[in-house]
């Protein structure tokens, strides 16, 4: 046993020596350290081998991932060592070298040192908040947080929490009444009676929709697995996947194609490691809604390849054309993510939920939520339960009016866009003639007191786009759009 | 590269084949699968080897741990397979075999088949709740949830949340005022002015103390790493470590040694993969408080070995002798976990926090909390802030009186225990003459309407212990203890 273990370590050492050499060669040829194709090739080969030999392929996959990660680490440090010694040769003034970040902000070598930069809508939000606190009045068109008050029922509930002692540990899945009422709500969603009825046992209340996604990914995915994300997309899917060592295969959609995903491209991107297709309709940031037939085709594809579909439907109550939920299809390997954040304007309450026909998946999510935080705060669960008594159609109507208003104003600007099918954003292409990218435009706008979200935060290829959020009233929206108008006409 | 990787997998496969054979031998000789000594021997040898060869020993250690874990898994399943086939040979009546759990509850083979079983205080809690809902009146002495109302300030705050619009996304680290007030509170904790003062930037509000621990482990540990846990202990440390593929090295303490951990045993259990020492004083379940000198020696040990100390101090406000917080020692690699759950009787609000001198660690936790759930619910943060205006000394006094009461009653029972230094439990050894283990006793007590927690839930070696929680009033405690008295005297 000792001898074999020793041999294993010897070989691993040999492998790392080779990795070091390859690192040097890559550096000389300016090649990328990570070569997806070769990695996948090695992995597929080994998985086949270990399967043939009766070794648990999952375990073998983990070992391979460790080896590959260590190789990448070694190659990176080898390259960094080289760059550093090159730099040291070039720069004799050591003091200058240490201060390079501040003194030489636009030099390409700066990328190695700079850390904080605006990249997503959240970065803009944080910067805008900073400016707010310095006394500047910022018009917030960057963040997806409706300005409505939550339903009055929530206020009444908050006043009851203390006297009714609703502040204890609860079942991890959430209090019974909340899950029961959610089951009825979902069964009858959109007057579209779901058959068979949705059971409370297949629902779990989570700390926001985000935590439902985090737990789903954590329970289904292992390092080295892959998910499919249709872009432009909310960055969380990719971020969570990255965190878990999971690879994101991006399917790009375009304004020209009316944000329709191409099924054949999705199909071609599926391989042995693919585990989840993420859908998010009504879409953030485009507002796109998939029609029923397209959704069905994606489900067929998932069935054929035994993939889980995660359908993030947190914007389902903001729909300006017919919206079909994944709930309509009794596909066992699907999970629907919902939230009180947008529907009832309750972002800060942090209550979301997940529903799946697959009880086993709900149990796994339950296990992770139990392990990591016990349950959603009981007072917040009761507020969510209270909100379910309110019909949020009014919020939908107001949002639609704002979308109309913004779109009519945008028509006279050098932008291209499609009227959104749903959600609370307009995703806008900056006319190429303006010769400006999203981040530069956003910087200029922030200086003038308007915060909007950069397109590139929703996918690398969207740096000619901005996302305008309609979560403030028309007066403010009007002012913001006027400032945008001033800026772009002065370019 | 491919060839070497293939060779590695071949050898790993060979190693697992041997593991399988060893599993069979161990089964025949009735040996334990896990042999810490041999494991450590193999590990030390390999670490020396890899160090000699220039391979990162940490990386090598992780690989070894993965190999060992897989070996254990294979050996366990091998043994289970054998037992199962033996049973099948013995039991020809298949119908009986399916029903074995109910019909043959005390047979040793039963362990393999039963899935849902009482193992921890949470299992008892769930079972007791079930009985509650069936109309049985259960005396709850199993769960750590004080019966006090939260401070009145919390009630007032709940009534303000809606009108003051305190229900939005917040900074992931928590609202400024909460962190500021926490910093002042911690700096002056126990009238023990901390120097230098604690800064709000080094604090993060989390979804309960549990999530602070989950995020700390997640940001510091990799599969194959190790943590040290002093038992008896709250099971969460081990559970979270298991979930992350991290090994827990257990340091057992005993009633005879007054629950004092032996520093030299801790020292001997440290190896290159050890990353964290977990402390939890006042301790759940024993109530033990470490004296300052012992704490200092553990910190020295951590310093010497560059280990993080996670000090879970959620019971710090229930101390019946002098309690010294880790805060007193400006050790950069330490993190203190606190919570509003026990101190202010706010379990269901799910607000805890972490403090570390190491800003980098707080940032890492921040990143995981941001990624997974954005932030703690804003209304709950404001309630926590309000609670900080209240001095919880009264809760402490009541709890101490209850502990006195329980201990005085326990004195006349065939139990052994030490008067707890803090927390809200008495950890009690069942007299060996009674010839009954914790789970059997608990089952009997539940039938008579008393729920208590099994010792084995706090560490495998404590199956002769029970934990009595003092979170209900003296009248109920008295009734519960009377029933316990009846049961044990009738044994």
Residue A377 has its nearest CB partner, among B16, B66, B350, at B350
Contacts of A321 (CB under 8 A, 6+ apart): A289, A421, A422
Q: Do A240 and A356 have their domain in common? A: yes
Q: Give chain A positions within 8 Å (CB) of B143.
A: 169
* Cβ contact B161–A162 (<8 Å): no
Q: How far apart are CA A345 and CA A145, in angstroms?
A: 7
Mean pLDDT of B201-223: 97
* Cβ contact B211–A6 (<8 Å): no
Higher pLDDT, B113 or A280: A280
Mean pLDDT of B396-401: 98
Q: Give chain A positions within 8 Å (CB) of B45.
A: 2, 6
* Cβ contact B379–A168 (<8 Å): no
Q: Do A367 and A408 have their domain in common? A: no
Would B310 be classed as within a structural domain? yes
Q: Do A73 and A187 have their domain in common? A: no
In the predicted model, is pLDDT for residue A414 greater than 60?
yes
Task: Tell how strand A308-312 and strand B139-141 pair up.
Answer: unpaired
* Cβ contact A11–B8 (<8 Å): yes
Q: How far apart are CA A168 and CA A375, in angstroms?
A: 10
- pLDDT tens digits, residue range A354-363? 999 999 999 9
Q: Do B321 and B445 have their domain in common? A: no
Three-state SS for A123-178 is HHHHHHHHHHHCCCCCEEECCCCCCCCCCHHHHHHHHHCCCCCCCCCCCCCCCHHH
Q: Do B275 and B313 have their domain in common? A: yes
Would B157 be classed as within a structural domain? no
In the predicted model, is pLDDT for residue B175 greater than 90?
yes
Q: Do A95 and A125 have their domain in common? A: no
Higher pLDDT, B371 or A135: B371
Mean pLDDT (chain A, rounded): 88
Would B301 be classed as within a structural domain? yes
Q: How far apart are CA A25 and CA A14, in angstroms?
A: 17
* Cβ contact B162–A161 (<8 Å): no
Output phi, psi for B392, to 5 deg. Answer: -80, 20
In the predicted model, is pLDDT for residue A112 greater than 60?
no
pLDDT band for A87, please (50, 70, 90 cuts).
low
Q: What percent of chain B clears pLDDT 90, i.e. is strictly above it? A: 69
Mean pLDDT of A45-57: 76
Q: Which residue has the tokens 């212990």?
A: B465
Q: How far is B176 from chain A (nearest CA, A)?
A: 12
Torsion angle defined by CA atoms of residues A177, A180, A181 and A186, in that order, rounded to the nearest 10 degrees:
150
Would B412 be classed as within a structural domain? yes
* Cβ contact A166–B380 (<8 Å): no
Q: Do A133 and A160 have their domain in common? A: no
Pairs of residues, one from chain A and one from chain B, whose beta carbons lie less than 8 Å apart = 220
Contacts of B409 (CB under 8 A, 6+ apart): B477, B478, B481
Domain boundary among A352, A387, A422: A387
Q: How far is B155 from chain A (nearest CA, A)?
A: 6
Q: Give chain B positions within 8 Å (CB) of A349.
A: 167, 377-379
* Cβ contact B163–A155 (<8 Å): yes
- pLDDT tens digits, residue range A286-341? 999 999 999 999 999 999 999 999 999 999 999 999 999 999 999 999 999 999 99
Q: How far is A488 from chain B (nearest CA, A)?
A: 31
Would B158 be classed as within a structural domain? no
**In 3-state terms, what secondary structure has residue B416?**
strand
**pLDDT for res B96:** 34
**pLDDT for res B280:** 98
Q: Which residue has the tokens 């249709």?
A: A230
In the predicted model, is pLDDT for residue A190 greater than 90?
no
* Cβ contact B347–A167 (<8 Å): yes
Contacts of A330 (CB under 8 A, 6+ apart): A196, A357
Q: How far apart are CA A201 and CA A176, in angstroms?
A: 9
Q: How far is B121 from chain A (nearest CA, A)?
A: 14
Q: Do A240 and A340 have their domain in common? A: yes
Residue B305: DSSP 8-state: T
Q: Which domain holds residue A480?
A: 121-148+393-489
Half-sphere exposure for A169 (CA within 13 Å, toward CB) = 19
In the predicted model, is pLDDT for residue A54 greater than 60?
yes
| Closest chain A residue to the Cα of B367, Cα to Cα | A243
CA B330 to each of CA A229, B217, B277, B280, B315: distance values in angstroms, whole numbers, following the listed order:
45, 21, 16, 18, 21
| Closest chain B residue to the Cα of A158, Cα to Cα | B158
- pLDDT tens digits, residue range B5-42? 778 878 888 888 887 888 778 777 777 766 777 777 77
* Cβ contact A158–B155 (<8 Å): no
Mean pLDDT of A94-123: 45
Would B155 be classed as within a structural domain? no
* Cβ contact A348–B377 (<8 Å): yes
Is residue B116 packed enough to be buried (19+ CB in 10 Å), middle (13-18) or exposed (0-12)? exposed
**Residue spans of alpha helices (H) in B310-349:** none
Whether cis (ω within 30° of 0) applies to the bond prior to A451 is no
pLDDT band for A147, please (50, 70, 90 cuts).
very high
**pLDDT for res A256:** 97
pLDDT band for A107, please (50, 70, 90 cuts).
very low
Q: In A304-384, which ranges are E strands? A: 308-312, 334-339, 352-355
**In 3-state terms, what secondary structure has residue B279?**
strand
Q: How far apart are CA B72 and CA B70, in angstroms?
A: 5
Contacts of B11 (CB under 8 A, 6+ apart): A4, A7, A8, A11
Q: How far apart are CA B448 and CA B440, in angstroms?
A: 13
Residue A371 has its nearest CB partner, among B49, B243, B349, at B243
Mean pLDDT (chain B, rounded): 89
In the predicted model, is pLDDT for residue A204 greater than 90?
yes
How many structural domains comprise chain B? 3
In the predicted model, is pLDDT for residue A111 greater than 80?
no
Length of chain A measured in residues: 491
Whether cis (ω within 30° of 0) applies to the bond prior to B232 is yes
CA A376 to each of CA B21, B126, B211, B230, B379: distance values in angstroms, whole numbers, following the listed order:
47, 17, 12, 29, 13
- pLDDT tens digits, residue range A385-409? 999 999 999 999 999 999 999 999 9
Half-sphere exposure for A7 (CA within 13 Å, toward CB) = 15
Would B154 be classed as within a structural domain? no
Q: How far is A245 from chain B (nearest CA, A)?
A: 12
In the predicted model, is pLDDT for residue B224 greater than 80?
yes
Task: Using alpha carbons, select from A489, A440, A491 the residue that is nearest to residue A464.
Answer: A440
Q: Do A13 and A30 have their domain in common? A: yes
Q: What percent of chain A clears pLDDT 70, i.e. is strictly above it? A: 91
Mean pLDDT of A419-447: 96
Length of chain B measured in residues: 491
**pLDDT for res B197:** 93
Would B153 be classed as within a structural domain? no
> A435: alpha, beta or left, given left = phi > 0 and alpha = psi -120 to 50?
left
Contacts of A329 (CB under 8 A, 6+ apart): A295, A296, A299
**pLDDT for res A412:** 93
Output phi, psi for B20, to 5 deg. Answer: -60, -45
Q: Do A88 and A169 have their domain in common? A: no
Domain boundary among A364, A387, A410: A387
Residue B55 has its nearest CB partner, among A12, A145, A375, at A12
Q: Do B321 and B369 have their domain in common? A: yes
pLDDT band for B122, please (50, 70, 90 cuts).
confident
* Cβ contact A167–B145 (<8 Å): no
Q: Which residue has the tokens 């101390």?
A: B319
Q: How far is A486 from chain B (nearest CA, A)?
A: 31
| Closest chain A residue to the Cα of B151, Cα to Cα | A162
Q: Do A100 and A136 have their domain in common? A: no
CB of A141 within 8 A of CB of A477? yes
Residue B282: DSSP 8-state: S
Optimal mutation site among B4, B8, B121, interface A, most CBs of chain A within 10 A: B8
Q: Determine which helix (DSSP H) or strand (DSSP E) holds B292, and give its type and residue range.
A: helix B292-304
Residue B349 has its nearest CB partner, among A9, A163, A167, at A167
Q: How far is B92 from chain A (nearest CA, A)?
A: 31
Whether cis (ω within 30° of 0) applies to the bond prior to A232 is yes
What do you get for the CA distance between the two ends of chain B, in Å? 67
- Bridge partners (DSSP) of residue A468 are A426
CATH number at residue A476: 3.90.1150.10
Question: Each residue of A82-121: b (16+ CB within 10 Å) or e?
Answer: eeeeeeeeeeeeeeeeeebeeeeeeeeeeeeeeeeebebb
Is residue B32 packed enough to be buried (19+ CB in 10 Å), middle (13-18) or exposed (0-12)? exposed
**pLDDT for res A35:** 67
Domain boundary among B355, B372, B387: B387
In the predicted model, is pLDDT for residue B209 greater than 80?
yes
pLDDT band for A12, please (50, 70, 90 cuts).
confident
* Cβ contact B167–A150 (<8 Å): yes
| Closest chain B residue to the Cα of A46, Cα to Cα | B6
* Cβ contact B5–A62 (<8 Å): no
* Cβ contact A162–B158 (<8 Å): yes
CATH number at residue B261: 3.40.640.10
CATH number at residue A10: 1.20.59.10
**Residue spans of alpha helices (H) in B29-120:** 36-53, 57-90, 94-98, 100-103, 110-113
Task: Using alpha carbons, select from B457, B401, B213 the residue that is nearest to residue B313.
Answer: B213
Q: How far is A262 from chain B (nearest CA, A)?
A: 29
Q: Which ipTM score applies to this complex?
A: 0.86
Q: How far apart are CA A287 and CA A424, in angstroms?
A: 7
pLDDT band for B223, please (50, 70, 90 cuts).
confident
């Amino acid at each position: 046993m000792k001898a074999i273990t020793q041999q294993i370590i010897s070989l691993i050492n040999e492998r790392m020596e080779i990795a070091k050499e390859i690192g040097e060669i890559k550096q000389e040829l300016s090649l990328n350290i990570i070569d997806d194709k070769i990695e996948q090739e090695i992995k597929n080969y080994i998985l086949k081998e270990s399967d043939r030999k009766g070794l648990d392929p999952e375990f073998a996959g983990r070992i391979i991932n460790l080896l590959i990660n260590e190789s990448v680490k070694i190659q990176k440090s080898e390259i960094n060592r080289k760059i550093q010694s090159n730099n040291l040769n070039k720069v004799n003034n050591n003091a200058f070298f240490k201060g390079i970040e501040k003194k030489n902000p636009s030099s390409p070598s700066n990328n190695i040192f700079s850390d904080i930069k605006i990249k997503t809508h959240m970065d803009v939000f944080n910067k805008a908040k900073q400016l707010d606190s310095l006394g500047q009045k910022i018009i917030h068109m960057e963040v997806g947080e409706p300005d409505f008050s939550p339903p009055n029922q929530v206020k009444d509930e908050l006043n009851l929490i203390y006297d009714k002692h609703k502040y204890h540990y609860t079942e991890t899945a959430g209090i019974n009444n909340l899950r029961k009422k959610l089951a009825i709500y979902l069964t009858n969603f959109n007057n579209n009676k779901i058959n068979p009825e949705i059971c409370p046992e297949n629902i779990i209340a989570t700390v926001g929709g985000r935590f439902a996604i985090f737990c789903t990914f954590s329970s289904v995915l292992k390092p080295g697995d892959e998910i499919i994300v249709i872009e432009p997309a909310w960055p969380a899917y990719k971020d969570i996947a990255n965190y878990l060592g999971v690879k994101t295969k991006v399917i790009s959609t375009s304004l020209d194609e009316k944000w329709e995903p191409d099924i054949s491209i999705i199909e071609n991107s599926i391989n042995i490691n693919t585990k989840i297709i993420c859908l998010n309709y009504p879409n953030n940031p485009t507002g796109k809604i998939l029609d029923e037939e397209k959704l069905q085709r994606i489900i067929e594809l998932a069935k054929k390849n035994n993939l889980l579909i995660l359908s993030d439907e947190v914007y389902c109550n903001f729909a300006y054309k017919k919206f079909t939920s994944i709930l309509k299809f009794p596909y066992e390997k699907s999970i629907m993510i919902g939230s009180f954040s947008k529907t009832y304007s309750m972002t800060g309450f942090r209550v979301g939920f997940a529903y799946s026909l697959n009880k086993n998946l709900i149990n796994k999510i339950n296990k992770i939520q139990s392990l990591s935080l016990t349950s959603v705060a009981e007072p917040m669960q009761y507020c969510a339960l209270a909100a379910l008594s309110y019909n949020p159609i009014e919020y939908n109507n107001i949002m639609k009016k704002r979308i109309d208003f913004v779109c009519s104003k945008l028509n006279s600007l050098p932008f291209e866009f499609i009227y959104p099918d749903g959600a609370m954003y307009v995703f806008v292409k900056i006319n190429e003639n303006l010769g400006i990218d999203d981040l530069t435009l956003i910087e200029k706008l922030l200086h003038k007191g308007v915060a909007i979200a950069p397109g590139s935060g929703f996918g690398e290829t969207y740096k000619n786009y901005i996302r305008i959020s309609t979560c403030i009233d028309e007066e403010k929206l009007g002012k913001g759009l006027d400032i945008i108008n001033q800026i772009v006409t002065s370019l």
